[in-house]
Structure 1
Amino acid sequence: MSAARVRRWGAFYYAEKVLRAMRSYVWTIVLYSLGQPAAYLFAMGVGLATLVDANSTNAFGGVSYIVFIAPALLVSAAVMTASGEFTYPVMDGFKWRRVYYGPHATPITPQQIAAGHIMAIAVRFAVQSVLYLLVMMLFGATPSAWSWVLVPIAILTGLSFGVPLLAYAASVREDKGQFPMVMRFIVTPLFLFSGTFFPLDNLPLGVRWIGWISPIWHGTELGRGVSYGYQEPLWLIAVHLVFLLVLVIGGWHLAKKQFVRRLGQ
């Protein structure tokens, strides 16, 4: 009977294991979730925004600069968290402490281990995003009653980047600096060139394409729509959603293959 329960609910059991492990650094998560938005929004809202708003009237769709950047910062925070939670912990699971192999000795399948890892990180995205949203509300950066939808948007955006990254991390057998390179040459450019601090149309065409393929830009555009009523055609909203969902589904398909390949050996 126990084995039957594990076969059915194995992903939830593994997610519980990951969440229990997070308790050892739960205050780090909470302080990061509160401190980062407070620092960013204070710097942008009290510092830079005073200059931007004074010299760029109507440059941000008729809203203040802090209202414009706040959804982008929330979405970007989920992607930043994904870049940490779906890299080194995955290497730890397969190579360093080999923490995936203990659960795999039970009826839990490789697919359930991968799914449980994703589910646990999605819970962290949710907690982090709720706390981030509360800080945004304190700064008056959420004028719309639909701003709460930023939380599921941030979760989806974080997973759209994190699940393909999970698949890649599961394929890495030796740590040769691949993950710092992901941060420097993928995450950082996506953060800077995804319309985070200014409209994407302000960029030259030579680098604007970075935003078009960036989960951060697609998530940010959706977030701005619910946060302060940023207007976009319905077809473009559909494109944003489909793009993010395709990344999640495609990444999940690749991640399952990698987990079965690695744990089956």
Structure 2
Amino acid sequence: MTERAALTGAAGSTTAAPLRAHSPAVSAARARRWGALYYAEQVLRVMKGYGWTIIMYGVGQPVAYLFAMGVGLATLVQANGAGVFGGVSYLTFIAPALLISAAVMTAANEFTFPVMDGFKWRRVYYGPHASPLTPAQIAGGQIIAVTVRFLLQSALYFAVVALFGASPSGWGWVSILVATLAGLSFGLPLMAYAASIKDDKGQFAMVMRFIVTPLFLFSGTFFPLDTLPLGVRWIGWISPIWHGTELGRVFSYGYRETPLLTIVHLAFLLGLTVIGWVLTKRQFSKRMGA
């Protein structure tokens, strides 16, 4: 065999088979089965483009609060309010609350303007909907992507909290999951509302000003809820931030409460999440004519 033939034979033996596209039927079947994951991948790729902004907003802001309130203000609070925080430091007390609040505030952003963008501004939902993806898959894909964001930013924030020694319990990592659930319990009903809006008239600014901010301030974030006046205490009772914060404190440092109340917190967050998902699917189907 000549040298040229040997080289040709060697090259031929290593040549990969040509790539072939799936048939339309196969592609459609895969989209019907995995459509939510495909759309979630697309949303995550978009998020990757402003990843540092996500990190600074989702982690930097609560860490700044942690320094300001848990380290700075704590010296005054602990000197004048010993025993108010259940025998733990003020830093340990507020750390779970800031973790939950960060997830809820992220939900307020991710489940409002991007939804309006999908239906009204750039109409990015209608391209995938022209494929075999259903409205429920498109909504589910966006929810999956935002859930991944919740998990990542909560894990990063919890790592900072652990470095400060503000989560002494071995179960503190569960607060990452609690924060994710709290974000979904607030975000999914808000997503359903955002999907129902056809014209932007400042509704989201009103939500941030008159819903998100009061929930942040009056949900036992900085002081125990029972120390607030009765006139505003009810805000905490209906707030995902308070229910999530109480659960987070149970896992972070062994906050003592009756098991029944712990079940109520969990049931409240799960109930809002399920209701929000049902309403979101219905509204997406209605808007897309399914």
TM bucket normalised to smaller: over 0.9
1:186 and 2:211 matched? yes
Give the distance between the partners of 1:32 and 1:259, measured in 2 at CA: 28
Higher relative contact order (CA 8 A, sep 6+): 1
1:244 and 2:258 matched? no
* Partner residue, 2:200: 175
Give the distance between the partners of 2:158 and 2:280, measured in 1 at CA: 30
* Partner residue, 1:27: 52
User: Runs in 1 of length 4+ with deviation above 4 angstroms?
Assistant: none
Correspondence 1:97-246 to 2 at 5 A:
97-246=122-271
1:93 and 2:118 matched? yes
Identity %: 72
State the 1:180 CA deviation: 0.3
Structure 1: any 5+ residue segments left out of the alignment? none
* Partner residue, 2:81: 56
Normalised to the residue count of structure 1, the TM-score between the two structures is 0.98
Give the distance between the partners of 1:220 and 1:126, measured in 2 at CA: 16
Q: Which amino acid aligns with 1:87?
A: T
Give the distance between the partners of 1:174 and 1:34, measured in 2 at CA: 32
Q: Is the 8 A contact 1:33 1:131 kept in 2?
A: no
Q: Which has the larger radius of gyration?
A: 2
Give the distance between the partners of 1:68 and 1:77, measured in 2 at CA: 16
Q: Is the 8 A contact 1:41 1:139 kept in 2?
A: no
Correspondence 1:6-25 to 2 at 5 A:
6-25=31-50
State the 1:228 CA deviation: 0.4
State the 1:34 CA deviation: 3.4
Correspondence 1:33-48 to 2 at 5 A:
33-48=58-73
Q: Is the 8 A contact 2:195 2:284 kept in 1?
A: yes
**Structure 1 vs Structure 2 CA RMSD:** 0.9
Normalised to the residue count of structure 2, the TM-score between the two structures is 0.90
Query: Equivalent residue of 1:147, what SS?
Result: coil
How many residues are matched? 265
Structure 2: any 5+ residue segments left out of the alignment? 1-25
Query: Equivalent residue of 1:230, what SS?
Result: coil
Q: Is the 8 A contact 1:14 1:117 kept in 2?
A: yes
Q: Is the 8 A contact 2:78 2:90 kept in 1?
A: yes
